Amino acid sequence: MAATIIPFELPLQPALPTIEGNVDYRLLRDQFQCWDQLLLHSGMETQFLTSSLQDWLAGAGPGRAPSAKAQRRFQEHSRRALRCNMARTLLREDFRGFAARVADSPLLQHFCGLSRLDKVQVPSKSTLQRYEQWIPEPKVRELIHQLLRRGQEQPQLLQLEQPLDLESYFLDTTCLKAYIHFPVDWVLFRDATRTLMKAVRLIRDQGLKHRMEEPEVFLSRMNGLCMEMSRAHGQSDSQRRRKRTFRKIDTLARVVRDHAQRYRQILDEQWQKTDWTRKQAEQVLRRMDQVLEQLPAARRQARQRILKEEPVKNQDKILSLYEPEVRVIVRHKAGAEVEFGNTLLLGESLDGLIVDWELFAQSAPADSRLLVRSLERTQANLAVEMDLLGADRGFDSQSNQDKLSKLQVYNAVCPRKPAQLKKRKRSWKFKAAQRRRAQTEGRIGILKENFFGSPLRRKGFAHRNLAVTWGVLTHNLWVIARLIQAQAKEKKAA
């Protein structure tokens, strides 16, 4: 459905107060002011409004066109969604913390379009959470691609003196850690007990009861057994103590499972006797089913590892009852021999912009199998012909060398073979590309610590993938703003 933006006048905003003596505030203010000009002149804000409006009108259905007033209100919220997501990602705030910070900051109110002469209405944490999911991930990705293409083809729209260099980029992979505790087998039983007994408490509070002890009693017993399991480590007969304690944990988990299954059946059959609607009851049922379905496999895994002392394959392990997409990633790095999360592929341009990224829900293929698909995807998305591609030795293979040679892309990938590496080091271009490739490690650290969060506090792979894309958008705008300021400074000095 075609979407036409209804012109709306921006409200009058009071001038920002003059703050002196704080260079950090001045830099943050300059950053937001530069972003404001970028959003207006690059057409990014208009594209975001158009994409949001198309989805909104399509959801209304045929023959149910919304009123002009409702559409203007939706356009205002779309504009706020884009700006609030960018500001919150830059400041590394959660939804609740950012809502409080916006209420206290005239600078954030001005950038997000919230300040008024009469009153200031700040979005709540729930509204900010809806803002993050305002448009799907592919449309945010397309927004980034348009920004990069415009920076190369029409740099004057981004207030750049020189076009962006997108014809060379450097690849690397990293682990995006999931927000879970260390996956200990018997801790899964504690998580299951906590979730099931809290759901049972909710059901009992609604008047549906079956004969059993209070749910808090089971929580207390499980916590005590978990502490006993921890104390057994390091003692002379630790293996015997651990096995004995685990059998108690396993027995208690069976009792908890039986009680939870009875209460689940009672709620499913007699939900009309509660104060809940059917959807509210189904929410509790889904929460219980998520744990009850995985509990038998978690028991088999724990019994195999603790009682039988046999290993379990990584692809068969249950690392979390709440994040099924989390994977075991073996890194063989100092301080991070094994990490738990999802593999993230990143491609960086010479200017430090992220031109390609991919978060894997399943176990990622080998790095050498990711190079060609990333190259083809980047060339298609940005409509450019790559001149150079650099990466570490994990991306090297004979097929990749042949493919890069066929595409006439300079191969700056570090070879695996020492003799071949010694020969390649005679080229000044290869050595310069390898020195530049080392900076990609620093870029990954900047992204993970300052834009994604380490770990990334999002539940579910889809939400983590969307948060990563918002982080890439914010990071690229941050880099472009720094380029604008640096070029303006050089021009003024000249």
Residue 18: predicted pLDDT: 85
414 CB-near residues (< 8 Å, 6+ apart): 391, 392, 393, 396, 421, 434, 437
Tell me the H-state helices in 206-318: 215-231, 238-270, 278-302
The CATH number of the domain covering residues in 185-316? 1.20.1440
Name the nearest CA neighbour of 246 among 238, 235, 234: 238
Can you give the pTM of this predicted structure?
0.91
Q: Tell me the pairing of strands 354-359 and 388-391.
A: unpaired
Residue-range domain boundaries for the chain: 23-135, 151-179+324-493, 185-316
Q: Cα separation of 236 and 239, whole Å?
A: 8
Residue 62: predicted pLDDT: 65
DSSP state of 305: I
Residue 52 structure tokens: 């949001």
The rounded Cα 86 to chain-centroid distance in angstroms is 14
Name the nearest CA neighbour of 476 among 385, 355, 350: 355
Q: pLDDT for 292-320, tens place per residue?
A: 999 999 999 999 988 888 888 888 888 89
Q: pLDDT for 225-273, tens place per residue?
A: 999 988 887 777 888 888 999 999 999 999 999 999 999 999 999 999 9
C-alpha neighbours within 13 Å on the C-beta side of residue 65: 7
Residue 490: predicted pLDDT: 83
Q: Tell me the pairing of strands 168-177 and 327-333.
A: unpaired
Higher pLDDT, 215 or 234: 215
- Give the model's confidence band at 11: pLDDT under 50 very low, under 70 low, under 90 confident, else very high: confident
Q: How many C-beta atoms surround the C-beta of residue 113 within 10 A?
A: 17
Q: Which range among 86-100, 262-276, 331-345, 456-470 shows the weakest confidence by mean pLDDT?
A: 331-345
Give me the mean pLDDT over the 191-203 stretch.
Answer: 95
Tell me the H-state helices in 389-460: 398-406, 418-424, 428-437, 439-447
Q: pLDDT for 35-74, tens place per residue?
A: 999 998 888 999 999 999 888 888 766 667 788 888 889 9
**Terminal Cα distance for the chain, rounded:** 51
Residue 22 has pLDDT above 70, yes or no: yes
Residue 118 has pLDDT above 90, yes or no: no
Give me the mean pLDDT over the 441-468 stretch.
Answer: 90
Q: Which range among 99-108, 233-242, 278-287, 462-471 shows the weakest confidence by mean pLDDT?
A: 233-242
Residue 63: predicted pLDDT: 62
Measured CA angle at 403 (ends 348, 331), to 5 deg: 50
Q: Tell me the pairing of strands 327-333 and 410-413.
A: unpaired
Length of the chain: 494
Contact 479, 351 (CB under 8 A): yes
Residue 2 has pLDDT above 70, yes or no: no
Residue 314: predicted pLDDT: 82
Residue 159: predicted pLDDT: 87
Contact 105, 115 (CB under 8 A): no
Q: Tokens 């459905």 appear where?
A: 1
Give me the mean pLDDT over the 334-360 stretch.
Answer: 89
Residue 101 has pLDDT above 90, yes or no: yes
Residue 389: predicted pLDDT: 93
Average confidence score pLDDT of the chain: 90
Q: Cα separation of 252 and 197, whole Å?
A: 12
Residue 120: predicted pLDDT: 84
Angle between helices 398-406 and 371-382 (to 10 degrees): 30
DSSP state of 438: T
Q: Tokens 């650290």 appear where?
A: 445
Contact 178, 320 (CB under 8 A): yes
- Give the model's confidence band at 125: pLDDT under 50 very low, under 70 low, under 90 confident, else very high: very high
Q: pLDDT for 366-394, tens place per residue?
A: 999 999 999 999 999 998 999 999 999 99
Q: Is residue 275 classed exposed, middle or buried when 0-12, 13-18 and 19+ CB atoms within 10 A define those classes? A: exposed
Assigned superfamily of 151-179+324-493? Ribonuclease H-like superfamily/Ribonuclease H (3.30.420.10)
Q: How many helical (H) and strand (E) elements, i.e. helices and strands, does the chain have?
A: 17, 6
Residue 414: predicted pLDDT: 92
DSSP state of 157: G
